[in-house]
Structures are given as structure tokens and as C-alpha cells.
Structure 1
Amino acid sequence: MPASDSAPALAKERAMGRFAIHVISAVMVAQLVIGTPAVGRAQDTGTPATPVEIHASPVGEALAWVLTILNGGAATLTPDEVTARIAPSLLAGAPPEIVIGLMQQVAADAPFALAGFTRPPTVSQVNALLIGRSGTPLVVPLSVESATPHRITGANFSFVPPPPSVRLQTVAPGELPLAVGERRTSETGRIDGFFELDGRQIFLSCAGTGSPTVVLESGLNDPAAPWFAVESAVAPFARVCTYDRANTAGGASDPAPTPRTARDAVDDLHVLLSEAQVPGPYVLVGHSIGGLIARLYASTYPDEVVGLVLVDAAHEEQETRLEELVSPELW
């Protein structure tokens, strides 16, 4: 190929390399900050200093209860209270004793104040941004039953310290909840809301401008919430999208029939990006099982993907290899 013909391709390859470095840096810095002492980091978060009011709704009431437990009630929390507040479907995988232990562990950073929401809430789900004593932001995705008694069906706790100089972008405190099937676009081009896939509603958020589009794929039981700091870091230089994969804890998307495979997740993501008209090409960023999904997506749709960032990613043979490393007694 003549040099003049290869120059544009070479320039594009170099540009993609620089773009990938920006994305990798945003992910790595956010991960590294998690491992550093959180004390004294409150001034770095860029979150509101004044606590935000909780919406008067079933999910708002559930969030208020979680805050009450974290801010002094964890020590006296009983299995009966947990059973009254949390749906049997969630307790089947996390018995009351496990829930109490988790709440007590998170409560070690109390007191917490509600600093905002990472995206518009829905009538039965919210991503709450809390700031604890250490100043490290904590995102709590929380979902409740749509019918009385509105027990908690899913919850997650993810510390999301932002990279230095990155401001976490919360939504307006008074923003009304999204109805099922609704989507909302802001003046900056941010979009949040539901898209239908085979009769199911999937929640997607996209922010920022620029190409290629960065798509963040979460770990096994995580909705989009743990990516909040990374999303805030990438949005200033590229379009970045997150979504609540089906059957993740505390997400807003409808559940999908189980068992689920990585192929099912790839099919959902491909249809979602098409339905939402998210422009390619894509840089896929996958954490844990999300790395496996991202790799499968890239091999299935190679013309759509120009980059992969794997964050402590799972591997399809990891269980087999782990079994080979330990004795039968330990396995």
C-alpha cells in the first residue's frame, strides 16, 4: 500500500490508541482511588454540600429506611425487621443475617447524607448518591415492589470515588420520576430511560459527546451504578453509555427468564444499542463477567467495536483453571 494511502489509517490507529489511553486512565484512576484512604477526600468529590430531600414515593420511603439503618440503626437491626422490609425473592439469596452483616459493614462510614441521584429515579427504582463520614461517595441502587407493601427487591452498595478533578454529575434534585417506558433527554444531550426488548423494559443512560462511544458493562450482579465515577470521567471527551443488565441487584430493568447466558446478554445489548440509536463504533469496557460479555460482543460484531478495556475481567475457563490449582478437598 502506498504511504499516501496508509496515512489516514495510521492516523486513525494512533488516534484510537490515544483515546483508549484516556478511557483506561479514567477506569484505572477510579479503581486506584478506591484502594486509597478515603479520609479527607470530601473536598474532591464535587458533590453538593447540602443534603437532598428524599422523594415522597414507595422507593423514597425504602431509601429513607436504608439511611436510617445506616445512620445508627444497624446495631439494633433484627431479622424480623429485615423480613418485613425486604422481598422474599431477595432474601432467598441473602438471608436476614447476611443483610444485617452487610448493613453493619457499610454503616462503619456513617453518618451518611443523601447528596443527590446519579440519574432520574423511576416509580420503583432509584440510584442514590450518599456521602459518608470519610467523604467517599457511595452509590446505592435500590428497587422495590410495584405493589403494596413495596418491599425492597434489590439493593447494592458501591463506593465510587472520582478521579482527581472530576466532578460527579448528579441530576436535578427535584426531577420527577420516570414512568415505565418513558425516556428523558436533557439540554446537554444526556438521555435516560427505558427501551423495549421483546416485551421487557431496559434502562439506559448516555451522556457526553464524541466518537467512538464508550459502553460500560457491569459485573455479574451489578447494574449500571458502580460505573458512576467512570461515566463522569469519560463524558467530558466522549459519548458514554451505561445500562442495567437484566436480573442485576437494584436495577431498573425488567427481569429476564433464567438461566441466562453471555450470548443472551450480548443479544440484549446489541438490540438495545440499535433501539436507542447509540452511534458506533464502540469501545467496550467490561468488569468481571462484563469483560466476558464485552469480548463475546466484539467477536460477534467485530465491525462495530474498535476497542476493548477489560477491568479484572472473568474468563470462560477460570473455574476449570482454578480447580486445577487447588486440591480436591479445598475445591
Structure 2
Amino acid sequence: MTNKKLQDIKYSVLDLAAVKEGGNAAESFQNSADLAQHVEQWGYTRYWMAEHHNMPAIASSATAVAISHVAHHTSTIKVGSGGIMLPNHAPLIIAEQFGTLETLFPGRIDLGLGRAPGTDQTTAYALRRHLDSNAENFPAMVDELRGYFNPELTTGIRRVRAFPGEGLDIPIWLLGSSGFSAQLAGRLGLPFSFASHFSPNNTLGALDLYRRNFEPSDTLDEPYAMVGVNVIAADTDEEAERLATSLYQQFLNIIRNTNKLLQPPVDNMDDIWMEHEKHALQQQLGASVIGGPEKVKKHLQSFLDDTQADEMIIASQIYDHEARLRSYEIVSEIVK
């Protein structure tokens, strides 16, 4: 296999619509629109938003609405979900929502699907009521959803149809942090996005499963793999390391279940985390790329060498909006 260079692949943005300490959701959405406008100019391919619930630090719970907001404020960049947690929803509702988005923004909408709840079990019950649609039903739910867009994929007569939705060509991606969705995406011939930004140890195994199980389809002739990566870039290594402490604190809050908003950077994480927590974060955030331009370039190329990805989708949990913009700008300069 010929090794790819950074200039050979595409780059995209994963926005968790972080609500920061001292801010609010309205500011978060303003920042999302502003970031999307900038990365559109810098040549990024797509801008994805994620579904999470019962998390005060993440504003994109109504993901389709947030996607519409970003699409309204941009003109060419693809906008989509990274992802919609399909077991939380009736597939018909997602078909109608994304059919509406595609109708409003033709050719610009992606539908990335995950099978995790994106929340705790109590909140999952509040979302699904009877919890009938669990992760084990995910393949059937994907089939049902695809059938609403393309009735030829279904057998028999479908009495329920999606309007808007039916007949629209909306790219469907499967997302995963393990091997389940990798195999399913390969079998269906769909593009696959792996969450290496929080599950780095499973990355290469899942990508191998996807590629080995891939069957050509009307969607793809060959596998197309995108990998998520945390990137905190700044003009110096030292400044990037400091900015990254907001990301560390966010994951620490998840471990501790403290539900804090995105925290400002600190000078010394040793004042905050315990040794076992530091080890846990290093396991979960091990693939993060943090540093000045030269260090980021070197580490991104190494990550690409390992994964041979077709695209990287970059998450940058940075407290200061201007510093976050600068991080994405640095990456765009590196990969030109």
C-alpha cells in the first residue's frame, strides 16, 4: 500500500458545540456558525455535529436543528451529524428531518449514524420511553431508514413513506468506536467513520475489519474510512499543551460524572487529577495531537501512516474561541 501524504486526504470538523464556563448555549451556537464560516474558507470538507443528551456542556442535543443553523450560515461546506444515535429515534423521524435538511440545503447534508445512546440509561429511557429500539436492533433500523430514502431497498409494499425524504440522495455514514459498525458498514458498502478521538486503542482493528468486510455497493466501489482525532494546535508547543488542559478537564468530568461546563485552561493538571485518573485519560486520549505547527504536522502524518485514512475529522475542545479558530487554521496551513 502506498503511504498517503497529508495533502492527499480530506479534512473535516467535529463540533461538540461546547458550552464553556461563563458562557451559555446561545454563545456556543454563535461560535459554531463562526467556526463553520472560517473552516469553509480554509478548505475543510464537512462540518459535523454530535448528538448528546443530559450533558450541560454540550449544546447540540437537537442535532438536526443545530445542523440547520450551521448550514444557514455557510454556503458550500457539507454539514451533517457525527452522529445521530439512531436507537434513540424512530427511523421515520430521522428520514423526515434529514429529508427536510437536504431539501433546504441540496447536496450539502450528511447523515452519520451511531448505535450508542449518547447519554446515560435514565436519559435513554426518557428519550425512548420503552427502550424497544436498543443497539442490537441497529442493523434493522439502518435498513428501515435507508428504505425511506430509497424504496427499492425494501421488500414488499411500504405503507409509510417519508416526505420530504423519499428519492433524496443523502450520504449515510456509519460511525463506531468498536468493530460492530465497522463490519456492518463494510457489508453494506457504506463509508465508515471511527471515533479514534476517544477510542484510540480500537482504531486499527476496526479499520481492518471494515476494509476486510467491505462489499462494493451503489454508494461506494471501495472502502472509504474517516478517523476522528483530537487536535489542539497553537503557535508554540507550550501554548498548545496549556490549551489542551480544557480537553483533559472535560474527560475528567466525564470520569467523575461531575457535569461541569468546559473549563478554562490551567497551568498544572497535577493539581486537579489523581494518578489513576491521569492514566485513564492517557488511555482514552492517547491519539490526541497537541503542539505547535511542526509537532502537529509530524504527528498527523504518523497517524495517517498508521491508519491510511481517506479523511480526518478533527475535534478541538478549546475554551477560547479565537484560540480554537487558530487551531483549525494551523491545521489548514499544514495540510496544504
TM-score w.r.t. length of structure 1: 0.28
As a proportion of its length, which structure holds more strand? 1
Say which structure is richer in helix. 2
Whose relative contact order is higher, 1 or 2, with alpha carbons under 8 Å and at least 6 apart? 2
